[in-house]
Chains A and B, each alone.
Chain A
Amino acid sequence: DSGVTQTPKHLITATGQRVTLRCSPRSGDLSVYWYQQSLDQGLQFLIQYYNGEERAKGNILERFSAQQFPDLHSELNLSSLELGDSALYFCASSTTGSSGNTIYFGEGSWLTVV
């Protein structure tokens, strides 16, 4: 158990819909990362937050957004869903979000878009 908690574990939704994935980082970790894992693209970095502020942005679509709340939990919002958005979405956390920190991953949220 990494200490990173993600909900829901599984989600099935229709095209065009919107979903929210939730993440609670490890106790004491200030930085949260979101990754997408798909057969086509492998593990892709989406976005990073540190103590409530966006820190880095990767290959995140405009239809996707994220935020980190004062209690440090984070949410990833996916809207206007397409079939290609079906993937495993990982949340991860680290102490400071700087290089050299170990990043711990949650078990992921499986999203299926039908």
Chain B
Amino acid sequence: AQSVTQPDIHITVSEGASLELRCNYSYGATPYLFWYVQSPGQGLQLLLKYFSGDTLVQGIKGFEAEFKRSQSSFNLRKPSVHWSDAAEYFCAVGGGSTLGRLYFGRGTQLTVWP
């Protein structure tokens, strides 16, 4: 069965610190992987995606993610967090016969201390 696990419900970091949000997936086909961000009262904004090729992908706002097939992971990273990065982050997986639908994790809430 397809599923996405984000082990950390809530993460707090200081502004300027590095960040890593974890994502593990279970999928029966070649996965397409996504990270979305949701600010309070806002929709879901695409940060980055992985379809194939280089396993380290760059996204918007200085985020990057690394696909590790052996670990079924797609962790999101940022070297230096800004206060405006405080939001909820969702990992999602799709591909194969799912016809474009995505399976989402439960999200990780990021708090940034000044």
- Using a CB–CB distance below 8 Å, which chain A residues touch chain B? 2, 4, 31, 33, 42-43, 45, 48, 55-56, 58, 90, 92, 94, 96-108
Measured between C-beta atoms, what is the minimum distance from B92 to chain A in Å? 8
Chain B residues whose C-beta falls within 8 Å of the C-beta of A4 in the assembled complex: 43
Not counting A55-B100, A56-B98, A103-B102, a sample of 17 additional A-B residue pairs whose C-beta atoms are within 8 angstroms of each other reads: A2-B43, A2-B45, A33-B101, A42-B107, A43-B92, A45-B102, A56-B101, A90-B44, A99-B94, A99-B95, A99-B98, A100-B51, A101-B100, A102-B49, A104-B46, A105-B46, A107-B42
A107 to chain B, nearest CB (A): 4
What are 26 A-B residue pairs whose CB atoms fall within 8 Å in the complex? A2-B46, A4-B43, A33-B101, A42-B104, A42-B105, A42-B106, A43-B104, A45-B101, A48-B99, A55-B99, A56-B98, A56-B99, A92-B44, A97-B99, A97-B100, A98-B100, A99-B96, A100-B32, A100-B95, A102-B34, A102-B49, A103-B34, A103-B46, A103-B100, A105-B46, A107-B43
The answer to whether residues A58 and B44 also contact, given A42-B106, A99-B95, A100-B95 and a CB cut-off of 8 A, is no
Give me the interface of B with A, judged by CB distance under 8 Å: 32, 34, 36, 42-46, 49, 51, 90, 92, 94-107
Contact between chains at B36 and A105 (CB < 8 Å)? yes
Q: Which residues of B contact A101 (CB under 8 A)?
A: 100
Question: B51 — nearest CB in chain A belongs to which residue?
Answer: A100
CB distance from B47 to the nearest CB of A (A): 11
Query: Is B49 a contact of A48 with CB atoms below 8 Å?
Result: no
Known contacts A99-B32, A102-B49, A108 near B100 by CB under 8 Å: no
B31 to chain A, nearest CB (A): 10
